[in-house]
Amino acid sequence: MATNTLYWVVYYCAIVCVVQLPLTVTQQQDEDNQSDVSDRCRNGIPGTPGVPGINGLPGPVGPMGDFGLPGATGPKGEPGLHGSHGRPGQKGDKGQDGSKGQSGQEGPSGKPGPRGYKGMDGMRGHRGAKGETGVKGDKGSRGGQGLPGTRGHKGDSGQPRVAFSVAKTTSTGPATEDQVILYDKVYANDGNGYNITTGKFSAPVEGKYFFTISGVRPRVTYSMFACLMKNDVQLPCIYSSDAYNRRYGASTNSAIVDLQQGDIVWVRLSQAYSVYSSANDLTTFTGHLLYSN
């Protein structure tokens, strides 16, 4: 097979050379044509293509081309798997109350619950109508003696109530001599021991008495000096003097005195002194029996 092929190649080149010879003599072709014919005679007829070689390595990636037109929508894919639960969303606004549903059928009674605590006593109800008198029962047997009762409070000893409280509503003085202060307003006079006309108290019973006197000095240049008296015996006094500043002054004093029935207690305003009072009852005289002998 190789020998036949070589034979035909040689034969072809001989013919080509003979055919091209007259053209060379006549010089109708230029030097380029002659060179081409000579090359064909030397190289011979192309042989049969060989077996394709192994593909070379891929070349570098070329620049990105323009985007093509969108392709046709593909068929619907199979549903994907369920994803994991997301985080809870924010609480939404409260919806409107729905309409009341129909009452369901009454269910079976449950077991009784534990007994509850005792409730508070309720308000007392109205008294009911009087019932009919029942049949008289048989006489019962005599009961045993009861326990002694508790001792009662001690009763009053029979001591008389003696107490008085009086006030002066007008001013007096300066006095031209020692005189009794008259108290013209009576608050209390239990036992009627105080005489509003004489201004003196007379002890209705023998015993110990408690007395208090109080007085106010006038604002002018007069002083006040008055004493509690038992009959003609001088007891505690009250005194106030402020001739330079011309201000009111007040004084008070008390005493516990033993009196026999009929003893006289009164208040003496000394000569040249004054005592002030008004409708506010600033000058007062009080006394009461502590206990009788």
| pLDDT tens profile 13-46 | 455 444 443 444 344 445 555 555 455 545 566 6
pLDDT in tens, 95-136: 788 788 787 777 787 788 788 777 777 778 778 788 787 788
Q: Give how far Cα 258 sits from Cα of 122, 163, 230, 264, Å.
A: 62, 15, 10, 11
For residue 239 the two structure tokens come to 């005194």
pLDDT of residue 24: 40
What gap in Å lies between CA 183 and CA 130, rounded to an integer? 63
Burial 217-227 (b: 16+ CB within 10 A, else e): bbeeebbbbbb
How far is 209 from 244, CA to CA, in rounded Å? 38
CA torsion, ordered 277, 281, 287, 288, to nearest 10 deg = 170
Indicate the pTM of the whole model: 0.47
Calpha distance 55→32 (Å, rounded)? 37
